[in-house]
Amino acid sequence: MVHEYRDRIYMRKDILLKLYEHGRLNQSKLMSYCGLNNVKHKEIIDDMVEKGLLTKVEVPWGNKTIIEYDISPKGHEILKAVLEPYEELFPRSDTKDR
């Protein structure tokens, strides 16, 4: 079986799109929806928070705290201004260009 390499730009785009679709999510759900590994790809989420693309919210849950992520206003701007037009111009496809 051949595994396709997914560029980090697409991982970031997928994170933004899943949060846009589903709203605020905890890390496990977000990573699962994006098909990413919780441990291996956590640095991507941390980087996106640091750069102001995502917000990190602590939510009390019983005697624990759950961390959830959402798109920041800056993330919404990036999603609309850069990623959506790029995807329209250069969509990914399952077949090679003919």
In this predicted structure, the answer to whether residue 58 has a pLDDT above a threshold of 70 is: yes
- Residue 23 pLDDT: 94
For range 51-57, the mean pLDDT = 96
**Beta strand 64-71 pairing with 25-26:** antiparallel
- Residue 97 pLDDT: 46
- pTM for the complete prediction? 0.75
> Does domain 8-89 correspond to CATH entry 1.10.10.10?
yes
- Residue 31 pLDDT: 94
pLDDT band, very low/low/confident/very high, at 2 (cuts 50, 70, 90): very low
The alpha-helical segments, DSSP class H, found in 23-82 are 27-34, 42-50, 73-78
Using the structure block, give the residue that is written with the tokens 């919404």.
76
